[in-house]
Amino acid sequence: MVYIVNREEIWYIGGVIKAIPNLKLFLLLIFLSLVIFLTDSIHLLDFFKRGAFYLTNPISFGLYSTNQQIKRQFNFIFEARLAARENKALKEQMGDLLSENALLRKKLAETEALVAQEQYLDPKIYNLIPARPIGLSRNLRIDKGESSSIKIGQVVVFKDNFIGKVVEISAQAANIRLLSDPDSKVAAFSQGLSGKARGVLVGQFGTDFLFDKILHEEQVKAGDLVYSEGTESYLPRGLILGRVKEVMERENEIFKQAKVEPVFSLRDLELIFVIGE
């Protein structure tokens, strides 16, 4: 039987060939796919598949291990950054708590000092203005000044102890001349089991004072407390000035002397009081 192809069919086949220029390659790929499918269905490719598995399995395992290591590294970096942020936040919270604790302790100490002060000097008689020490050199500097009704010449105390008097003042601060200042002179008397002695307490550079102009017949011994005489117009009588440390007597001298030491350290004070008008 002879099949006659006319020109229209030839033209159509030629158009298909032109439309699919790689038709031969396409048909070849389909043929190979069918061959592979058939050979695999009858297990002819098992040997090659096992060989490919043994060859590619180490590579796959290596890629998997590398992927896991990379994940662990990223997780470590993420967790380290998160821990650093949490640590920073905790440190800030700890700093805030310490600051609050210090502030509460300071306020508690000031409240206790205020209550204790009222046991020594009656607030009904004395106008006590609380102030904080903010500097110590030759003079003691406090954080209250003219704006708090502080004036030059006013007495500064702690409990029933005389600290000094105001000598310089500004709007928000004041300087206190201490008993240890060489320009400080206070009429004083000592009182002990052996008796009483009068004299003048003179400041000296250092921590000790000099109890001077004591008559020889008057009794004074180490350990006796020294008080303010109150003859100065600004200073109440009976404030503690210090404690006798050593008595110095010399023959052919009209007066004897004694070294006096403070009964507390100024550096330990949180709150002191100015006796106002």
| pLDDT for 62 | 72
- Whether 181 and 86 share a structural domain: no
- Whether 236 and 168 share a structural domain: yes
Highest mean pLDDT among 30-39, 57-66, 221-230: 221-230
DSSP string, the chain: --PPP-HHHHHHHHHHHHH-TTHHHHHHHHHHHHHHHHHHHTTTTHHHHHHHHHHHHHHHHHHHHHHHHHHHHHHHHHHHHHHHHHHHHHHHHHHHHHHHHHHHHHHHHHHHHHHHHHHHS-TTTSEEEEE-EEEESSEEEES--GGGT--TT-EEEETTEEEEEEEEE-SS-EEEEETTSTT-EEEEEEEETTEEEEEEEEE-SSS-EEEEEEETTS---TT-EEEE---STTS-TT-EEEEEEEEE--TT-SEEEEEEE-SS-GGG-S-EEEEE-
- Whether 143 and 219 share a structural domain: yes
- Whether 114 and 158 share a structural domain: no
| pLDDT for 68 | 80
- Whether 80 and 186 share a structural domain: no
- Whether 83 and 215 share a structural domain: no
The CATH number assigned to the domain holding 147 equals 2.40.10.350
Asked, for residue 215, whether it belongs to a domain, the answer is yes
pTM of the model: 0.60
Asked, for residue 2, whether it belongs to a domain, the answer is no
- Whether 223 and 267 share a structural domain: yes
The residue segments making up the domain with residue 244 are: 127-276
Q: Please state the domain count of the chain.
A: 2
- Encode pLDDT of 218-258 as tens digits: 999 999 999 999 998 888 999 999 999 999 988 778 899 99
- Whether 92 and 151 share a structural domain: no
- Encode pLDDT of 81-111 as tens digits: 888 888 888 888 887 777 777 777 767 776 7
Asked, for residue 41, whether it belongs to a domain, the answer is no
